[in-house]
């Protein structure tokens, strides 16, 4: 949970498809690598150069990021491509357009990167939304505030629009010989509940956590000292009350190292699940709500080396493509029986969201690497891979947004897992190939008495090879247990 280091302002625009949905989806992707601090209202404006194309919808956004300006720009361009922007022609219509306007107070003039944006001070559709969220920010080249620049420009073509949608013994029995000489894989305690403190001295928070402790037992020993697991935890909690652990995976690693020492074990594992509150904003009504997500920290240690994993569990919604396809075929048949031509029936059905059964779904994403990854960002990857994210608080326009989005993105459990892996590969190109990844999704079926389940684990380099070779590369399935086995 490292603090973000740089402030940047971006402009998002769209004039193809469902413009508001496109901008909101882009914001969801952007949250994977940046914190969104402020967003402006939506503003509608005519296209540049008086071209014959639909009107644009624009929104300014303030973000905090650890990426440098070039890395941030590359990521924003990836978001554009991920959302279907393929036309590079100047002023052409597009489903999403993202401009990097300002980055701290830097001035950069390179062939592929200009900061501040060279034409932002000339464009009302940029200055008006930007002035709403950054009125006192001073343009580093012009030395004037954004508010002052906005007052100089003709804003008659820019119109604000509302958001809408069309977790003391006598003898050491455990240390003695077992009565039956069969070794055990691992032993320990599960479901130990505690409040833990994570963060920094300046900014720490309390979390309700569930912990599992495991030791890899020497075959010559009867068992482990169960009370020592709790002793390790209580001692560590007292220690981190003075100096908090920065993140959940670091705490798991510290506990695993302590278990190895206290149990005199060959190896130890610690699994932690903590419920973490994240502020959410509903997509249309813009209502603020706080929702709980499960952050996961896993670590294994043998006393000299260790491995650790950061992960999340997040819920969303999936809709069934198979049932939707059947409904589409049935609808076309009814239209043809009513006198419409085959082509007319196909066109009508292509315009109307098709019914299908939907279900709540739980996605899990685990990443094992020495390179830090923010758990909050993994939440957004999981949600963006579902048919739609879900919200605790929903007004009617928000409800319509979620249902409409889900039915426009019908996905099986298998699809969700593939999207999670693809998004992780694309969004984190700097993660090393030896990084361990596990993606899992379970859909709680609405019309069946069973659940749908899909999972894939492996090394990131193998996943990249599969994607590069379009699935023809040999499939590697390194399991979580194998990766943790130092």
DSSP 184-245: -S-EEEEEEEEEEEEE-SSSEEEEEEEEEEEEE--TTSS---HHHHHHHHHHHHHHHHHS-B
Q: Which of 442, 409, 384 is nearest to 321 (CA)?
A: 409
Describe the crossing of helices 460-468 and 413-427 by its angle, rounded to 10 degrees. Answer: 100
Catalytic: 85?
yes
Given 19, 33, 85, 332, the catalytic residue: 85
Catalytic: 462?
no
Q: How far apart are the first and last CA of the chain?
A: 26
Q: What is the β-pairing status of strands 204-216 and 267-281?
A: antiparallel
Reported as type and span, the H/E element at residue 29 is: helix 19-30
Alpha-carbon distance of 435 to 432, in angstroms, equals 6
Helix (H, G, I), strand (E, B) or coil at 104: coil
Q: Check: CB of residue 251 under 8 Å from CB of residue 199.
A: no
Sign of the Cα pseudo-torsion (421, 427, 429, 430, in order) = negative
Q: Which of 109, 251, 238, 226 is nearest to 174 (CA)?
A: 226
Alpha-carbon distance of 439 to 271, in angstroms, equals 17
Counting Cα atoms < 13 Å in the Cβ hemisphere of 11 gives 25
Q: Check: CB of residue 134 under 8 Å from CB of residue 9.
A: yes
Residues 345-379: b if buried by 16+ CB within 10 A, e if exposed: beeebeeeebebebbebbbbbbbbbeeebbbbbbb
Catalytic: 228?
no
Q: How far is CA 434 from CA 15, 262, 368, 480, in A?
A: 41, 31, 9, 13
Given 18, 67, 99, 462, the catalytic residue: 99
Given 19, 33, 94, 456, the catalytic residue: 94
Reported as type and span, the H/E element at residue 414 is: helix 413-427
Token pair, residue 361, equals: 């779904």
Catalytic: 104?
no
Token pair, residue 145, equals: 């505030």
Q: Which residue has the tokens 């107070």?
A: 105
Given 18, 67, 97, 398, the catalytic residue: 97
Alpha-carbon distance of 391 to 318, in angstroms, equals 14
Alpha-carbon distance of 417 to 238, in angstroms, equals 39
Residue 145 DSSP class: B
Q: Check: CB of residue 416 under 8 Å from CB of residue 386.
A: yes
Please list the active-site residues.
85, 94, 97, 99
């Amino acid at each position: 949970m490292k603090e973000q280091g740089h402030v940047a302002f971006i402009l998002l625009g769209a004039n193809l498809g469902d413009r508001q949905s496109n901008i909101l989806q882009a914001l969801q992707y952007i949250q994977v690598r940046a914190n969104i601090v402020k967003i402006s209202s939506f503003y509608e404006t005519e296209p540049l150069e008086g071209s014959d194309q639909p009107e644009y919808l624009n929104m300014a956004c303030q973000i905090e990021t650890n990426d440098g300006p070039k890395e941030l720009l590359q990521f924003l361009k990836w978001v554009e491509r991920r959302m279907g922007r393929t036309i590079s022609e100047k002023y052409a219509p597009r489903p999403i357009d993202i401009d990097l306007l300002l980055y701290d107070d830097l001035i950069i003039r390179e062939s592929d990167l200009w900061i501040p944006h060279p034409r932002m001070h000339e464009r009302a559709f940029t200055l008006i939304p930007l002035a709403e969220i950054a009125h006192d920010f001073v343009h580093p080249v012009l030395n004037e505030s954004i508010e002052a620049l906005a007052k100089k420009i003709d804003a008659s073509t820019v119109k604000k629009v509302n958001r809408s949608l069309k977790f003391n013994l006598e003898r050491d029995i455990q240390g003695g010989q077992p009565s039956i000489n069969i070794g055990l894989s691992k032993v320990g305690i599960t479901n130990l509940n505690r409040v833990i403190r994570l963060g920094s001295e300046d900014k720490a928070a309390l979390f309700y956590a569930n912990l599992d402790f495991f030791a890899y037992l020497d075959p010559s020993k009867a068992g482990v000292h169960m009370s020592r697991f709790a002793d390790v935890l209580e001692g560590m909690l007292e220690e981190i009350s003075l100096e908090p652990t920065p993140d959940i995976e670091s705490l798991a690693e510290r506990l695993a190292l302590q278990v190895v020492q206290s149990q005199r074990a060959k190896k130890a594992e610690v699994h932690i699940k903590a419920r973490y509150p994240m502020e959410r904003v509903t997509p249309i009504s813009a209502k603020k709500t706080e929702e709980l997500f499960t952050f996961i920290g896993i670590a294994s240690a043998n006393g000299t080396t260790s491995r650790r994993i950061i992960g999340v569990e997040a819920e969303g919604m999936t809709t069934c493509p198979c049932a939707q396809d059947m409904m589409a075929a049935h609808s076309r048949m009814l239209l043809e029986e009513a006198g419409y031509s085959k082509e007319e029936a196909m066109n009508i059905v292509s315009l109307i969201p098709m019914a299908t059964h939907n279900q709540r779904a739980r996605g899990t994403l685990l990443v094992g690497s020495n390179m830090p990854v923010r758990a909050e960002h993994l939440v957004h990857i999981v949600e963006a891979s579902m048919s739609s994210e879900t919200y605790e608080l929903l007004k009617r326009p928000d409800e319509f947004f979620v249902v409409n989005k889900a039915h426009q993105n019908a996905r099986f459990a298998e699809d969700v897992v593939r999207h999670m892996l693809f998004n992780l590969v694309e969004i984190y190109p700097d993660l090393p190939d030896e990084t361990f990844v596990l993606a899992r999704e379970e859909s709680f079926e609405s019309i069946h008495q069973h659940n749908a389940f899909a999972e894939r684990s492996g090394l990131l380099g193998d996943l990249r090879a599969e994607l590069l070779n379009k699935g023809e590369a040999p499939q590697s399935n390194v399991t979580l247990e194998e990766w943790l086995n130092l």
